[in-house]
Structure 1
Amino acid sequence: MAAALGGLGLLHGRFRLAAAAAATSSALGTRTPVRGGAAAFLSAGRSYGSEAKEEEELRVRYLDDEHKGIVVLGLNRSHAKNALNKNLLKMMSKAVDALKSDKKVRTVIFRSEVPGIFCAGADLKERAKMHSSEVGSFVSKARATINEMANLPVPTIAAIDGAALGGGLELALACDIRVAASSAKMGLVETKLAIIPGAGGTQRLPRTIGVSLAKELIFSARIVDGEEAKSIGLISHVVEQNEAGDAAYRRALALAKEFLPQGPVAMRVAKLAIDQGMEVDLVTGLAIEEACYAQEEYERIVTCIIQYPCTILVRGFTKSKGSQMYFGYF
């Protein structure tokens, strides 16, 4: 995206807007409509149901009614404390791939269906049976899957109602927001096994809590509870656990509900602007914000074209029967 933005300073007016829209469309994973192609802007969405779709070790639920637009991905390997194995990673990747192109999805919550555990990290029993040549590809797959989660275009929330260790915490770190029960345990404990975090932990933890503290936690393999995690900025919210053992999930659901009334395009573009901007210097980040703002305006205009097909667009304003609407840029 940075390369695409490089030439924006040479462009002006509607041409600059078009270039910005194209640049950010690519990063958003959406198609920028071309002349006569407004219909292509809307992708076909799947219909939702309230029933849980159980795919062995991963449950995907599309919520209805007042929570419509919220999708819950629940880890469900009770016999293995939700440890990440090849099969679970494959199902997670498949689910995330479907979600990223579904424009009806507004927020995704990652949680555990197993009481007292979020995710215990990699499945070490399966890993012990792997040939040495397989280990590298397994770690790469885990890293890629968690990166796919991080790159979802909608807000993501990790609801941590139990232990999130090793790869489990790396999974949570890939989410935009983390909510945890005060009793939950979290830590990157890989150095106890004479290895290092391999699914983004060495990069996302220092970006979340700062370099020095991240080094301390990784070097010591120290485990923190929800209260300490909140105090160091590892999580956004800490809640007292309830009898059902799902207090963090309930708080995550309440947060996701707060997002529902907001503009869906604005939410996606805001996430993109923040994520891209955090990887560059301030000047470049401001250019990204400008391009993203143009993209949001562009998509809003196209949506209006679809809603008002008889509207005639002219430079600076539009005229239609009985109404006048200012858009700008065109």
Structure 2
Amino acid sequence: MPYQTLLTGLSDGIFTIIINRADKLNALNTTVMQELGEAFDEIYADPAVKSVIITGAGPKAFVAGADISEFVGLSVAEGSALAQRGHDLFFKIERCPKPVVACVNGFALGGGCELAMSCHFRIASSNAKFGQPEVNLGIIPGYGGTQRLTRLIGKGRAMELILSANMIDAATALQYGLVNYVVEPEQLILKAQELLITINSKAPLALAAAIKAINAVYDETTNGFETEVLAFGDCFATEDMKEGASAFLEKRKAVFTGK
């Protein structure tokens, strides 16, 4: 479907989302957030979509932050409601049963860093910069940044980045474990596509189960080991499990159908 602030396309099972506000460094405003939610509703529902890439338009920014002009004059309740909407969206991305990769092509600051961290993993171009500069505005990260950054890079480093509002470059992000790969800008989407073509060849229901079980590590409302046991068992009810086992024993390549 057409969007005002997003460019989307589907090729070889990979659904690409480009946040298309280059003149605003792809800042997250209400429309972008709403349309990202709608795009993920489409992704969840469409069996032709096997995986997702999120990136930003232009050479400068993935997403350089939230649209601060929308913050002015908010009450406490309105600020909390804004944060909750961000949490709801980023949980929708994090819990997507199809792999989601952030291709960070420049600045990923504030809400942009939080968006990247809600994806299942991240690939950065060599010119990427990451940071949570919210304390410069008298606020804190509100879309999950205090939690996801700490989980990804550890308490000490997260404390330093959030409290100092400093940025780190792509090489440091790789060293910290915030990103999986750093590549030259012209190789960014190609690297993601290469990985996702491999992932897309696997059993879709098994991928969804693995994502759910891995996410359960950080879900305080559930026992991750129990989630794994149940998800493992559920796989045995799928046609893909039967096909995968048969293909292995018959020494042929499995053909998965997502059933």
Give the counterpart letter for 1:287 in structure 2. Answer: E
Alpha-carbon distance change, 130 to 87 in structure 1, aligned in 2, over 3 angstroms: farther
Structure 1: give runs of 5+ residues left out of the alignment.
1-52, 305-330
- The match for 1:114 is 58
- The match for 1:276 is 216
What is the aligned length? Answer: 243
Give the counterpart letter for 1:69 in structure 2. Answer: G
- The match for 1:75 is 19
- The match for 2:191 is 251
Is residue 285 from structure 1 mapped to residue 218 from structure 2 by the alignment? no
Is residue 59 from structure 1 mapped to residue 3 from structure 2 by the alignment? no
Q: Deviations over 1:215-237 (max 9, x none)?
A: 11111111011011001111110
- The match for 1:240 is 184
- The match for 2:136 is 192
Q: TM-score, normalised by structure 1?
A: 0.69
Alpha-carbon distance change, 132 to 209 in structure 1, aligned in 2, over 3 angstroms: closer
Describe how 1:65-214 pairs up with structure 2 within 5 A. 68-128=12-72, 134-214=78-158
- The match for 1:295 is 234
**What SS does the aligned partner of 2:43 have?**
helix
Q: 2:136 and 2:212 mapped to 1: Cα distance?
A: 36
Q: Deviations over 1:2-58 (max 9, x none)?
A: xxxxxxxxxxxxxxxxxxxxxxxxxxxxxxxxxxxxxxxxxxxxxxxxxxx641211
Deviates more, 1:272-281 or 1:216-225: 272-281
Q: 2:84 and 2:224 mapped to 1: Cα distance?
A: 29
Q: 2:221 and 2:41 mapped to 1: Cα distance?
A: 30
Q: Deviations over 1:111-139 (max 9, x none)?
A: 11222110011101233365776443333
Structure 2: give runs of 5+ residues left out of the alignment.
244-259
Q: 1:190 and 1:136 mapped to 2: Cα distance?
A: 15
Q: 1:279 and 1:194 mapped to 2: Cα distance?
A: 29
**What SS does the aligned partner of 1:298 have?**
coil
Question: What RMSD over aligned residues (CA atoms) do the two structures have, in Å?
Answer: 2.3
Q: 1:150 and 1:292 mapped to 2: Cα distance?
A: 17
8 Å contact 2:64–2:109 — kept in the other structure? yes
Give the counterpart letter for 1:55 in structure 2. Answer: Y
Give the counterpart letter for 1:206 in structure 2. Answer: T
Q: 1:119 and 1:149 mapped to 2: Cα distance?
A: 16
Q: 2:148 and 2:75 mapped to 1: Cα distance?
A: 29
Q: Deviations over 1:181-200 (max 9, x none)?
A: 12111101111111100000
Q: TM-score, normalised by structure 2?
A: 0.86
Alpha-carbon distance change, 137 to 281 in structure 1, aligned in 2, over 3 angstroms: closer
Is residue 221 from structure 1 mapped to residue 221 from structure 2 by the alignment? no
**What SS does the aligned partner of 2:102 have?**
strand
Give the counterpart letter for 2:165 in structure 1. Answer: A
Among all aligned residue pairs of Structure 1 and Structure 2, give the percentage whose two residues are the same amino acid.
33
8 Å contact 2:33–2:86 — kept in the other structure? yes
Q: 2:75 and 2:159 mapped to 1: Cα distance?
A: 31
Alpha-carbon distance change, 277 to 131 in structure 1, aligned in 2, over 3 angstroms: closer
Give the counterpart letter for 1:271 in structure 2. Answer: I
Deviation at 1:211, TM superposition (A): 1.1
Larger Rg: 1
